[in-house]
A and B are shown apart, each in its own frame.
Chain A
Amino acid sequence: MLRYVARRVVYMLAALFIIISVTWFISKLLPGTPFADQKLSAETRAQLFAKYGLDEPWPVQYGKYMLHVLHADLGNSYYFQGRPVTEIILARLPISAFLGVQAILMGLVTGLVLGIVAALRHNSFWDTAATVLAILGVSVPSFVLGPILQYWLGVKLGWFPIAFFESWWHSVLPSLALSVFVIATVARFIRAEMLEVMGQDYTTLAKAKGLSRLAVVMKHVLRNALIPLVTVLAPLTIYIITGSLVVEQIFAVPGIGEEFVRSVVVSDYAMILGTTIFFSVLFILALLIQDILYGIIDPRIRVSGAKE
């Protein structure tokens, strides 16, 4: 078990190393020169370049950058001169994290209920309704849903504020916009898993033991169906990350996503690079946690088989 974890960690670190390197390389390919939008004399520009180490040969820049990364130093933002990228990211992290986690929680709970009910009432009206709703949820992206929610729940009905982030109430619409996809994905997934488990021999055996339907579902079906749910964790993390880019724009929420979009617009390459790396770290971490979690919950991995 420990070996399993250790292997995954080493693996992730290697992947991360490569990703950061590649991303750094790509950032060097981005067109335009840094500070191009700011009117500077040639001298000042040369000075700035020297200060940021942009005049050195690439391998040197690369080496220095990687060294800095090891110290969690992602350089300084070009746009916000002097402010370290890491600091900006960390300042905005709580907001994005809050929205994301809230969205996942909302989505998980609702999705589970929807999916389980659909599976238990297979082929009934509820099942079809839930499936249709789920497909809808997967099809309407957050940048379409966001404005719709803003319009109807915000402007027309006035129930929720539609921008900024001054209170929890402000977080409802953005989290809702994000969570719809989560609900749909979780519902479809758990429904499919449950249906598959219900078709297995061991479910029939449980029934043959004389257990009530409720007991069979609670003790056998759910446990087996929920375990693979962990594999949804990483894709959902990706979704929340990319979704936040749009949702934070629409709802003017000062999170990391909003910062990323801004840095794209003003060509703040240090920020772009740093944020991309941050996203990748997040994702890889999510993958790692997912793998470890799966190893813990599934007895087939946790307890190595000792065959006779």
Chain B
Amino acid sequence: METRRSELTPDLFEQIEAGSQDNERIVGPPIGFWRDSWNRLKKNRGALVGLVVIVVVIAVAYVGPLLSPYTPYGQDLARRFVDPSSQFWFGTDEFGRDMWSRVWIGTRVSLYIGFLAAFLDLVVGVVYGALSGLFGGRVDDVMQRGIEILNGVPYLVVAILAMLILSPGIITITIAIGLTSWTYMARIVRSRMLQLKEQEFALASRSLGANRARLLTKHLIPNSLGPMVVNLMFTIPLAIFSEAFLSFIGLGIQPPDTSLGALINEGYKELRFHSYLLWFPTAVFSLLMLSFNLLADGLRDALDPKMRK
């Protein structure tokens, strides 16, 4: 609403203090980096769906087997190859074992390995990259060459070789899978470390040595948290996939333990006549992969400072 010109009165022309207007009033509350990223993530429907699905799958993986009266290992040859029914929600396999329980137990194992391997990758990658960047010079060169050599062999082949040397078990599989995927994180952390070092050099008044600890804790870690989270989200499905792949060619989880990969392998053998043995683990597996990828994509976009408007 504007006052019409004829209504102007002399008192309106008194001077007022500048700044008494809230020009600087902030339109909206101050938003921290994480808050803002979370907001943006929420807008990405794909990522949200992914997140929800992951949570649901994890929940069912732990609760599911409890819902059925059967155990995943109990064999009953009288009930072999039963099609999915109200008694056996996912049917039974060639040993009469309840597939519902087996699928969810297998999911637990796959998830466990996936998270563990991804976490391992993260730790190794961060430490390696931080050290490489911190020392710089010759050490850094050598370490970087090391990474390039490591990347010279296809990662699954490395995993296969590792599994051949070590005997299959959850821990060994985790190590085998994690052997090569840490290099990406190492590179990122290293470049951040190098940036930080340069900045610290600019503060020439203090000696660099005393600040190293500060560098790491106060600057490097918080700064790299974003890429760390994104990297984690990408490596988990990769690890789950690698484990499934190893199991598929027989180098992974050994019976009677099971994982999604092992189940897919077994199911594949019965494709012709009992295809349901394949579809259920496949569906869970694909759902997990899809969800993690959606979430990782969304996270990467949300945490990327360049995308901020």
Query: What is A's interface to B at a CB cutoff of 8 Å?
Result: 15-16, 18-19, 22-23, 26, 29-31, 131-132, 135-136, 138-141, 143-144, 147-148, 150-151, 155, 238, 241-242, 245-246, 249-250, 261, 264-265, 272, 276, 279-280, 283-284, 287
Bound-state CA distance A147–B149 (Å) is 34
For the A-B complex with A131-B46, A242-B245, A279-B154 known, give 15 more contacts whose Cβ atoms are closer than 8 Å.
A26-B165, A30-B164, A30-B165, A135-B290, A138-B293, A139-B293, A144-B286, A150-B271, A249-B249, A250-B268, A264-B249, A264-B251, A272-B161, A276-B153, A279-B157
> Could you tell me the distance in whole angstroms from the C-beta of B246 to the nearest C-beta in chain A?
11
The number of residue pairs between A and B whose CB atoms lie closer than 8 Å in the complex comes to 99
Q: Which chain A residue lies CB-closest to B283?
A: A144
Chain A residues with CB under 8 A of B154 = 238, 241-242, 279-280, 283
| Complex contact A136–B157 (CB within 8 A) | no
Mask: chain B, 150-164; 1 = CB below 8 Å from A; 0 = not? 001111110011001
* Contact residues of B: prevailing secondary structure: helix
| Complex contact B164–A23 (CB within 8 A) | no
Query: What is B's interface to A at a CB cutoff of 8 Å?
Result: 46, 148-149, 152-157, 160-161, 164-165, 167, 237, 241, 244-245, 248-251, 264, 268, 271-272, 275, 278, 282, 285-286, 289-290, 292-294, 297
Bound-state CA distance A147–B251 (Å) is 20
Most chain B CB neighbours (cut-off 10 Å) among A141, A279, A287: A141
User: Nearest 3 A-B pairs (CB), nearest first?
Assistant: A139-B289, A242-B156, A139-B290
Most chain B CB neighbours (cut-off 10 Å) among A131, A136, A144, A265: A144
Most chain A CB neighbours (cut-off 10 Å) among B154, B155, B244, B292: B154
> Could you tell me the distance in whole angstroms from the C-beta of A137 to the nearest C-beta in chain B?
10
| Complex contact A29–B165 (CB within 8 A) | yes
| Complex contact A265–B250 (CB within 8 A) | yes
> Could you tell me the distance in whole angstroms from the C-beta of B279 to the nearest C-beta in chain A?
9
| Complex contact A144–B285 (CB within 8 A) | yes
> Could you tell me the distance in whole angstroms from the C-beta of B19 to the nearest C-beta in chain A?
38
Query: What are 23 A-B residue pairs whose CB atoms fall within 8 Å in the complex?
Result: A15-B152, A16-B152, A19-B149, A30-B164, A30-B165, A135-B293, A136-B290, A139-B286, A139-B289, A139-B293, A141-B245, A144-B286, A150-B271, A151-B271, A242-B154, A246-B245, A264-B164, A272-B164, A276-B157, A279-B153, A280-B152, A280-B153, A283-B153
Chain B residues with CB under 8 A of A150 = 271
Bound-state CA distance A284–B149 (Å) is 10
Chain B residues with CB under 8 A of A147 = 268, 271, 278, 282
